[in-house]
Amino acid sequence: MTCMHTIRRKFFLIGVTLIIFLVLLKVMKSISDPRTFGPAAVMSDLMSASLGQDTVSSITEHHHSFGPLRRPNVTCEGAELAKQFAPEDKLDDIIERRTHEFNQHQLRMKTNEEIIIATANSPLQYPTSFTVAPLQKSLIPGLALQTQGRCETTIKREAYKVSLSVKSGVLSVEKVLDGQQVDGRGQSELNISSSSLAQLNDLLSRVTYTSTIYRVKAEDLVHFSYDDHKAIFPLMIRRPSVPVLLDPGKDINSQVTIITKTFLRYKELNTLIQSIRKFYPNIKIIVADDSLKPEHVSGNNIEHYIMPPAQGWFAGRNLALSQLTTKYFLWVDDDFLFLKETRIESFVEIMEAVPELDVLGGDVSDDQFHFTLEYDEGDEEGGCLKRIKGGFHQRLSGYDRCVLVDGVINYFLARTEAIRRIGFDPLLKRVGHTEFFIDALGKLLVASCKGLSIGHQTHRAQTEYDSYRTQGKLEEKRKLAHHFFKNYLNYIKY
Amino acid sequence: MTCMHTIRRKFFLIGVTLIIFLVLLKVMKSISDPRTFGPAAVMSDLMSASLGQDTVSSITEHHHSFGPLRRPNVTCEGAELAKQFAPEDKLDDIIERRTHEFNQHQLRMKTNEEIIIATANSPLQYPTSFTVAPLQKSLIPGLALQTQGRCETTIKREAYKVSLSVKSGVLSVEKVLDGQQVDGRGQSELNISSSSLAQLNDLLSRVTYTSTIYRVKAEDLVHFSYDDHKAIFPLMIRRPSVPVLLDPGKDINSQVTIITKTFLRYKELNTLIQSIRKFYPNIKIIVADDSLKPEHVSGNNIEHYIMPPAQGWFAGRNLALSQLTTKYFLWVDDDFLFLKETRIESFVEIMEAVPELDVLGGDVSDDQFHFTLEYDEGDEEGGCLKRIKGGFHQRLSGYDRCVLVDGVINYFLARTEAIRRIGFDPLLKRVGHTEFFIDALGKLLVASCKGLSIGHQTHRAQTEYDSYRTQGKLEEKRKLAHHFFKNYLNYIKY
């Protein structure tokens, strides 16, 4: 009448508890097929149970649809095929090197997409994740065996025995007393036995782990078992780091630096500087200058950096970025113009109120250009990227005039520490804008707001400057070949 | 004879399954006490069970010792008290700003130290962690209810009912047929009912989650319950990012750039450059120069950047770093000297073989200076940092002549992408070395090897240069005050 230990139920329990949803990241597998993206839980096929078969098989059935439902397909057809622009005779070499770099990248990122399923009706209790420092002994919390109240435990056990095993470290038990059966202390496999469940759990509460390979970021997996029951959980190995904070000081001058890059446009640059000084007499201005014949740029609190001639647009942007000492910076192009309504404080107010924000874009002469990027990781041939002009993800909560996007116009306030982590690619010499936001995708939170305005000086036709700004066919090819490698892309559509 | 549904066992099961080891990150708590470090699983005190009390209490007892065993105390006594060097009259303001910046930092880092314990004997099956993209519908894998074979299920249920709830998103079920009882589709709480366990599990296999707040990195928690049984698991919300790879090309010239900073030492700089060119006639050399009266630095494939006079040591280092286009760079001081045995390829071989390495240090005139850092997060007053000269963590596996450390001498090969993520702090004008490695702690993997040698030019006494290199008392104070804020330190001992 109560639970009957039928063979069917026994088999069912064995079947259920043997669902081990563990896959260790297979290095070999990732080397041969570098694009093993998407949560693909590999299941040991241990479905032997008859009862509950329908339940078990329904899990198996749906394993293939784990993860995000088919993402809205980024339309890769019709987009530029980057490979076409890589030099034909060097293509095989390039692809080989790209695959090699990508594999190294994956190894360094340690992306583990595998899913661990906590099995039902297991007598094992354990932490679902735990973080330890490298080479340091840590107590693993929450380990226990709870066999009381389970149907099969009317058969009194002579001894309770559990096993724990790890790969990149050793296990032990603190303060083991004489007579207590603990086997494998200081090794990667630990066995604990006791005739008393209470004593076993007491020993389990003192299990320690020490990683044996020094790394600043790594992962180990603990296999915990009792009879046919198995549990698996990850141990994150992390070396604690020291905070790096930038002091905002007390006013706008200590919070923000204005930075720009200039080339052959001293007239525009000086007009910009004068317009800044009208409203912000003391704010620091950093100028990266790769003009062919550098001139002196004078003025209070202006840092002027001279680069090799025509060294390049993004090289100059990265240089200016590298010299910042303030928490925030305001990017401006050298032909912008501060107006009465140009108010840096408005940017800072929003950034301070939303600490997760990294970049906040405004508008240039009412042009509030922003965009989103649709990115599909694709396959081993590369990913697929499409820019949606005017696109946005969502309104910024609490700020009706602001939207969350992937890229903004070249007038923005940003968090120095965050943008430095991405950087401006010095290989982009002539043209570049979206490229920074491609590198930043998934790493920076970007917003664009109405009402944060700056002016733009009237365009002055300049033969020499314009000739440098126009990208020739060769340059265009080089740039696409660059993205083919650098961003592992097969398609880009701007 | 088989399991008896005694009241004691019922209470035990209720007690065990009510062990809810959930703590949501309490923002308020972290604001008032910013140093809530260390895994501190907060337990709901729901221990009402009598049977198994000893097991339950042993878990409670040991909760306070979760996490790393008392780390070997970094001896903070005797180390410099950074606070002493912060300007007295401004101390309160500084501390207030520092706490504010630190709280923002914590919010942005989203460090979640809380531990979730998977309870034993729960009929719930679920994934212990799962990653989704923001605003996109994803199937949650592995959800199921396994009530078969449990002692209490001889009482046939009229209906099986489960609940799921989330905070930063909505739940739903795909392809629900008429008559199926699913309540709360598109909301943050979902209830599924069925008279058939098989049908319930079929519906559970089609549960979806969609995050509702756009973020590139966030976390939600799923609460999954059936009767008195509860399970909790995190959902990681991550916007996928695009790879950023640097093409190493085919030879040493495309793999490595040599970078240095110079100030008032053109004689030494030119001697260095000549010595490089003897062995590497084509390798690119980047020179950041803040000399008071800049001179022309000539030569093939040399990029010379002119900075504002005496702008500073680390500002120059960061500038040179910002201009790199190669996968690796070799740092040299402007008074080093390439010798016959100076072989850049040896560095690259090791870095390519150990992709997790970020920095590889050599020796300068047989001086293979390296060190480790002992860091204790401390309390709200700040952390404690101590440098151990000559210290190392471990030999590098497979490389007997190499050790894993925290800092090396100023002759090293490094991965451009990794060092850019850290950067050289431009506020360090006169002196600085260890500071870069402090900022890098826990973020970069650093090694030092014997046999990677470079020479050093004989020191030439120069009044002007030496006067700039010596840090006055005021400078020293400023620097310690800087670290007090920037690295949230209370003690530093070099």
Q: How far is A458 from chain B (nearest CA, A)?
A: 30
Between the CA atoms of B346, B351, B357 and B359, what dihedral angle is there, to the nearest 10 degrees? 50
Q: How far is C-alpha B158 from the chain's CA centre?
A: 51
- Lowest-confidence pick of A400-404, B183-187, B284-288, B460-464: B460-464
Sheet holding B229-238, edge to edge: B130-132, B229-238, B217-226, B160-165, B189-194, B181-183
Residues of B in contact with A117 (CB under 8 A): 125-128, 141-142
**B238–A442 CB contact, under 8 Å:** yes
Euclidean distance between CA atoms A467 and A457, whole angstroms: 20
Q: Cα Rg for chain A, rounded, in angstroms?
A: 30
**B292-306 per-residue burial string, b: 16 or more CB within 10 A, e: under 16:** eebeebeeeebbbbb
Tokens of A465: 């400057």
Better-predicted residue by pLDDT, A38 or B211: B211
User: CA of B141: how far to CAs of A10, A26, A61, B163, in Å?
Assistant: 26, 21, 11, 16
The pLDDT score that the predictor gives to residue B460 is 87
Of A494 and B359, the structure prediction assigns the larger pLDDT to: B359
Mean pLDDT score, B91-112: 90
**One digit per residue, pLDDT tens: chain A, 494 residues?**
445 455 566 556 555 665 654 455 444 444 333 332 233 333 322 232 322 333 233 333 333 333 334 344 455 665 666 667 766 777 888 999 999 999 999 999 987 778 999 999 999 999 999 999 999 999 999 999 998 767 765 556 788 999 999 999 999 999 988 888 999 999 999 999 999 999 999 999 999 999 999 999 999 999 999 999 999 999 999 999 999 999 999 999 999 999 999 999 999 999 999 999 999 999 999 999 999 999 999 899 999 999 999 999 999 999 999 999 999 999 999 999 999 999 999 999 999 999 999 999 999 999 999 999 999 998 888 899 999 999 999 999 999 999 999 999 999 999 999 999 999 999 999 889 999 999 999 999 999 999 999 999 998 888 888 888 777 788 888 888 888 999 999 888 88
pLDDT at B364: 96
Residue A200, H or E segment = helix A197-204
- Residues 6 or more apart in contact with residue B96 via CB below 8 angstroms: none
Is any Cβ of chain A less than 8 angstroms from the Cβ of B227?
no
Test the A interface: residue of B168, B244, B254, B295 with most A CBs within 10 Å: B244
Question: Is B288 within 8 Å of chain A by CB?
Answer: no
**Residue B78, pLDDT above cutoff 90:** no
ipTM of the complex: 0.84
pLDDT digit string, tens, across residues B441-450: 999 999 999 9
Is the pLDDT reported for residue B20 higher than 60? no
B62 to each of B40, B77, B130, how far by Cα in Å?
11, 30, 29
Amino acid B271 reads T
CB A320 within 8 A of CB A259: yes
Q: What is the pLDDT of residue B25?
A: 46
Cβ contacts (< 8 Å) between B444 and chain A: which residues? Answer: 216
Euclidean distance between CA atoms A291 and A304, whole angstroms: 12
Per-residue pLDDT of B235-247, as tens digits, reads 999 999 999 999 9
Q: Which of B54, B55, B114 to mutate to test the interface with A (most CBs of A within 10 A)?
A: B55
Do the Cβ atoms of B142 and A67 come within 8 Å?
Answer: no
Q: What tokens appear for B24 in the block?
A: 């949501």
B115 at the A interface (CB within 8 A)?
A: yes
pLDDT score recorded for residue A74 = 55
The more confidently predicted of residues A25 and B385 is: B385
pLDDT of residue B92: 87
Lowest mean pLDDT of A96-105, A404-413, B66-75, B360-369, name the range: B66-75
Percent of all residues in chain B with a pLDDT value above 90, rounded to a whole number: 68
> CB of B437 within 8 Å of any CB in chain A?
no
Predicted TM-score (pTM) of this structure: 0.84
Cβ of A3 and B1 within 8 Å? no
Taking CB atoms and an 8 Å limit, are A55 and B201 in contact across chains?
yes
What secondary structure, in 3-state letters, does chain B show? Answer: CCCCCCHHHHHHHHHHHCCCCCCCCCHHHHHHCCCCCCCCCCCCCCCCCCCCHHHHHHHHHHHHHCEECCCCCCCCCCCEEHHHHCCHHHHHHHHHHHHHHHHHHHHHHCCCCCCCEECCCCCEEEECCEEECCCCCEECCCCEECCCCCHHHHCCCCCEEEEEECCCEEEEECCCCCCCEEECCCECEEEEEECCHHHHHHHHCCEEEEECCCCCEEEEEEEEEECCEEEEEEEEEECCCCCCCCCCCCCHHHHEEEEEEECCCHHHHHHHHHHHHHHCCCCCEEEEECCCCCCCCCCCCEEEEECCCCCCHHHHHHHHHHCCCCCEEEECCCCEECCCCCCHHHHHHHHHHCCCCCEEEEEECCECCEEEEEEEEEECCEEEEEEEECCCCEEECCEEEEEEECEECCCEEEEHHHHHHHCCCCCCCCCCCHHHHHHHCCCCCEEEEEEEEEEECCCCCCHHHHHHHCCCHHHHHHHHHHHHHHCCEEEEEC
Q: Using CB atoms within 10 A of its CB, is residue B335 exposed (0-12), middle (13-18) or buried (19+)?
A: buried
Please tell me the distance from the alpha carbon of residue A216 to that of residue B418, in angstroms, as a whole number.
13
Starting at the earlier edge strand, list the strands of the sheet with A144-145. A144-145, A124-127, B117-118
pLDDT of B369 strictly over 90:
yes
**Cα A189 to the chain's mean position, in Å?**
34
Measured CA distances, B112 to A392, B23, B24, B132 (Å): 29, 10, 9, 18
Q: Find the closest chain A residue to B406 by CA distance.
A: A216
CB B225 within 8 Å of CB B123: no
Q: To the nearest whole number, what is the mean pLDDT of chain B?
A: 85
| Beta carbons of B242 and A394 less than 8 Å apart | no
The CA distance from B71 to B65, in Å, is 12
Neighboring chain A residues of B127 at a CB cutoff of 8 Å: 21, 115-118
Instruction: Collect all residues of chain A within an 8 Å Cβ-Cβ radius of residue B144.
Output: 55, 59, 120
Whether A311 and B303 lie within 8 Å, measured CB to CB: yes
Best mutation site among A21, A207, A244, A393 for testing chain B: the one with the most B CBs within 10 Å?
A: A244
Answer whether residue B453 shows pLDDT above 60: yes
Q: How high is the pLDDT of residue A29?
A: 43
SS3 A267: helix
The confidence score (pLDDT) of residue A163 equals 98
Backbone φ and ψ for A34, nearest 5 degrees, come out as: -70, -10
Which residues of B are less than 8 Å from A38 in CB distance?
none
Check whether B47 has a pLDDT greater than 90.
Answer: no
User: What is residue A425's predicted lDDT score, i.e. its pLDDT?
Assistant: 97
CA dihedral B341, B344, B347, B353 (to 10 degrees): -120
Could you tell me if B356 lies within 8 Å of chain A, comparing CB atoms?
Answer: yes
Block residue for tokens 């910046």:
B101
- Residue (of A291, A486, A262, A434) closest to B325 by Cα position: A486
| Mean pLDDT within B380-393 | 92
The CA distance from B433 to B429, in Å, is 11
Task: Supply the pLDDT for residue A44.
Answer: 29
Output the pLDDT for position A270: 97
Q: Is A73 on the interface with B (CB under 8 A)?
A: no
CA gap B180, B166 in Å, rounded: 22
Residue B72 binned pLDDT confidence (cut-offs 50, 70, 90): very low
Residue partners of A174: CB distance under 8 A and separation at least 6? A139, A206, A208, B69
Kindly report the backbone phi and psi dihedral angles of residue A413, in degrees, each rounded to the nearest multiple of 5, phi listed first.
Answer: -100, 140
Interface of A with B in 119-148 (CB under 8 A): 119-139, 141-142, 144-146, 148
- CB of A305 within 8 Å of a chain B CB? The answer is yes
C-alpha dist (Å) from residue B227 to B147, B202, B400? 11, 19, 59
